Structure 1
Amino acid sequence: MSVATSWDRIVGWLAANHPATVPHINPPATAVDLRYLQAAMNRPLPTDLVEYLQIADGTNHRYVGGYLIPPFYNLLPIMDMLSARKIHQEIRHRIDGTGPWASESEPAGQRPTNWLDSFLPVAGAYDGGLLFVDLRDGDQFGCISEWDEGVMEPPPRWSGVGEMLDEVASALVDGHPAPTKYHSPDLPQVNDGYLRWGDVPA
């Protein structure tokens, strides 16, 4: 399923079931913002990530009532992506110095010893956890992994932004449980104006 189709399905479900969230979806990223992101990363960007950003530059996540990405993540706009990346780079430099980093040359999807410059956050959690796109070379270039409590949780959760949005859309619209690595498969639940992801009923 294309990124655009998955996103349309997500927004359509939100409009029908959780309309308060829709105004907090940001408009498309500008060409200037995309060029700035490309220059900041100094690496190729996955096609599905660019396609998504050309549709929506994340969400005004501090005001979203709940979590769009299971189990507790919201999509970040470009400037927040780069801000979160900078914070983790600074933490790494305080702990381990300035490099060079052998893990940067390892294939995408491999677990590093610390945060890498080739990691781009795309979604954030209330507790500081992140989902990030791995921009290292290799067969899994563009895969999405979870960064929690200072470590990468292997293996990657999705092959890329396209697969992530497809699975979220399928969970919302078709009722197919969204798999999570460290939780049972989840389905969306809107309670008291808040979108949560919960266990599939037995």
Structure 2
Amino acid sequence: MGRLDAVEAALAVTLPADVRGWWALTNVSADYWFPGSFAPVALEEAPETREIWLLVAEQEESLFDQNGEEEPRFLPEFMPIAMSPGGDGLVVDLRAGEHHGAIFLWDHERWRLGVPLWDSMGSMLQDIAVALESQTPALPRHAALGGAEAACVGKVNDSGDLTDVGASG
């Protein structure tokens, strides 16, 4: 049984093919290069991060919105794929339905998903590649759908290193 199969079996989840493909890559750097200064989470770290977030969600007292409905919490069907220095994450939604495989921002203070950043890992990587190659903003579809995250532009230096990921002006 391979690493990916072992993670899926241990967590009782099925990862989308493009997420499996991502984690099957070797030599992926943990530098911050996703929009919003997110660093990729290694396959070995993702289950531990997920378990910590599930524990925090379980320990938090229930909060209710203005309609008296319980605020959402981190769910077992969310799998972290990237983390920011501030403790937020990018998660893939493993729930069945319209957003299966979509990439969302998990804000550790807001506790809700909002509009998907991307429909899939593949669309995320394509968007980032196009944005870097053309120096145009990433996340245009998210913004068009009414998403709250600002489109951003990454800058690559002469060595090919990402030096800045900032909001587009």
Task: Tell me whether the two structures share a fold, i.e. TM-score over 0.5.
Answer: yes
Task: Decide which of 137, 150, 154 is 2:96's aligned counterpart.
Answer: 137
What is the distance in 2 between the residues matched to 1:85 and 1:57?
A: 22
How far apart are 1:183 and its partner, in Å? 4.3
Structure with the bigger RCO (C-alpha within 8 Å, sep 6+) is 1
How far apart are 1:196 and its partner, in Å? 1.7
Q: 1:58 touches 1:78 (CA, 8 Å); kept in 2?
A: no
The 1:94/1:199 distance shift into structure 2, 3 A limit, reads: closer
Task: Decide which of 25, 37, 53 is 2:23's aligned counterpart.
Answer: 53
Deviations 1:7-54 (A, max 9, x none): xxxxxxxxxxxxxxxxxxxxxxxx621112111331221011111222
How far apart are 1:176 and its partner, in Å? 2.6
TM-score of the pair, normalised by structure 2: 0.79
1:48 is paired with a residue of what secondary structure?
helix
Within 5 Å, give how 1:176-187 maps onto structure 2. Answer: 176-179=136-139, 181-187=147-153
Count residues in correspondence.
Answer: 151
The 1:198/1:156 distance shift into structure 2, 3 A limit, reads: same
Within 5 Å, give how 1:141-160 maps onto structure 2. Answer: 141-150=100-109, 151-160=111-120
What is the distance in 1 between the residues matched to 2:15 and 2:133?
A: 29
Corresponding letter in the other structure for 1:163: S
More helix by share: 1
What is the distance in 2 between the residues matched to 1:35 and 1:149?
A: 28
Aligned to 1:33: 3
Structure 1 runs of 4+ off > 4 angstroms? Answer: none
| Unaligned ranges ≥5, structure 1 | 1-30, 98-111
1:78 is paired with a residue of what secondary structure?
coil
How far apart are 1:182 and its partner, in Å? 3.5
How far apart are 1:58 and its partner, in Å? 4.6
Q: 2:91 touches 2:103 (CA, 8 Å); kept in 1?
A: yes
1:155 is paired with a residue of what secondary structure?
coil
Q: CA RMSD of the aligned region, Å? A: 2.3
